[in-house]
Chains A and B, each alone.
Chain A
């Protein structure tokens, strides 16, 4: 464990020295600043005589959940960027550059090395996502007086989502060069989100094929289901026309997670870890 902790510490320090980390931080600050301005303006412009009153929709819930849903999407995207860039070259990329071999010949073992790299990436990305989600939620609450029904669940979903993306990227780094791995993980990320939107469309239009595709993708890429589940829990307990409109929005409501999502996500992480361990053990460096 000491070896894995040493690798985790080394990877953590390496993370903070990467230029992408600074870029993500700058983008995050810019995003949160714009989000604060936009949220303030959006809540200020809610007009009691507007559509909400006519359609019996709670404008505050609609505005708050839609904006926070947008913030969650951005948070997940930035978290994904961070997760991918911290892990995309962890094995093959580092081996090609000659960085990995001096570490691997030490007695700590390849499994411990992978565990250390994963712990560092998951820790950085998870903490990042939790902080950004918390900041966005606080901004929404202060600006509009609206707080999600479940303030913790969506954040946990995002954290778990980026942890899974980091694990997938680490697994990919064993087989693919850094560039190819980055592209592959971003494509998987995009495919997951696209499938989620297709599922929402299928649900609204009652097209079973679209719904089935989305469900299969959710099992194959659970980070998407965790994100959807998080979105859904933003407006837990909201009913009537408000719930209907929120669920139709692009970032508002979404599919309920279901009781198997979290156990499956854990099992998925275990499967990815097992596959990575096996593949790394067999890889010539």
Chain B
């Protein structure tokens, strides 16, 4: 089966500004990949090229094996932009109906009802967009992106306007989609969200991927702490592999060991260090 999204040597220039400079990235079906990077790093440009909103200057981008931007590629994606807006006068159900027609979905009222339930808007079927809070509109946007059961979902800052409950709904939704085999490319500044749900993370700086891997792989060892009678003793240079040796040495020295903590950097710390180093 072809990758849900695959790009090679992807580049984009806006006049003299380089937005992407040779990006390679692959998202497999059922995989949740987070895109991180400072403002202007090229995250939105990458997502927009995948959606066919922006033309690449060079390289190759494919969605489900089809050239990004082609009708066949667009038929397999769902997209929620960072700065999106829906007409104030449309009701939630009408908006989804419009997108069903545009996506060629034959899901009918059942699909619309399920999608609104999925994003916690089951009671807002007849609510006009103009009467919705920003958070409700964002959840409606996610429902809109899911019309037609896309194989690749691209979300650009999908939780920026959500309260903790809304974020929880979206997080659970993403995990549910993952279990259904939907690939997700998630662009967000909320590192804790990315750390919780993403299988892999790519950090973009200056249009290039400067780090990639699972959140665990990206985390850096910060030493080991051991709880002893006399308090906590730190071993800053140690990592998980050193724990048996450290404990054995302490016990042999007559210490009583009550607990051991292997410390590692959070994704936020890794991100900040990576961006600082790359800048």
Contact = CB atoms under 8 A, between A and B. Distances in A.
Interface string B70-85: 0110110101110111
B102 A108 contact: yes
A101 B84 contact: yes
Contacts of A14: 87, 89
Interface stretch (A2-10, A47-55, A253-261): A2-10
Interface in B54-110: 54-55, 71-72, 74-75, 77, 79-81, 83-87, 89, 98-99, 101-104
Given A6-B102, A107-B104, A102 B71 contact: no
Contacts of B198: none
B144 interface: yes
Contacts of B151: none
Contacts of A176: none
B52 A104 contact: yes
A135 to B, nearest CB: 29
A284 interface: yes
B101 A2 contact: yes
A16 to B, nearest CB: 10
Secondary structure of the A contact surface, majority rule: helix
B200 interface: no
Interface string A1-40: 0110011001001100100000000000000000000000
A105 B63 CA distance: 13
B71 A109 contact: yes
B53 A106 contact: no
A282 B84 CA distance: 21
Contact of B86 (A2, A17, A102): A102
A285 B85 contact: no
Contacts of A104: 52-53
A285 B103 contact: no
Contacts of B14: 284
Given A101-B53, A284-B55, A107 B103 contact: yes
A3 B99 CA distance: 10
A98 B103 contact: no
Contacts of B52: 104-105
B23 interface: no
B98 A6 contact: yes
Nearest to A13: B89
Given A99-B85, A102-B86, A285 B54 contact: yes
Given A17-B89, A107-B74, A101 B98 contact: no
Contacts of A3: 101-102, 104
Contacts of A108: 102
Given A105-B77, A282-B55, A98 B84 contact: yes
Given A17-B89, A98-B85, A106 B54 contact: no
B48 interface: yes
Interface in A97-119: 97-99, 101-109
Interface of A: 2-3, 6-7, 10, 13-14, 17, 97-99, 101-109, 282, 284-285
17 contacts: A2-B101, A3-B102, A7-B102, A97-B85, A101-B84, A102-B81, A102-B99, A105-B51, A105-B52, A105-B74, A105-B79, A106-B99, A106-B102, A107-B102, A109-B71, A284-B14, A285-B48
Given A7-B102, A107-B102, A108-B102, 16 more contacts: A2-B101, A2-B104, A3-B101, A6-B98, A14-B89, A17-B89, A98-B85, A99-B85, A99-B87, A101-B51, A101-B53, A102-B80, A103-B102, A104-B53, A106-B103, A107-B104
Interface of B: 14, 48, 51-55, 71-72, 74-75, 77, 79-81, 83-87, 89, 98-99, 101-104, 141, 144
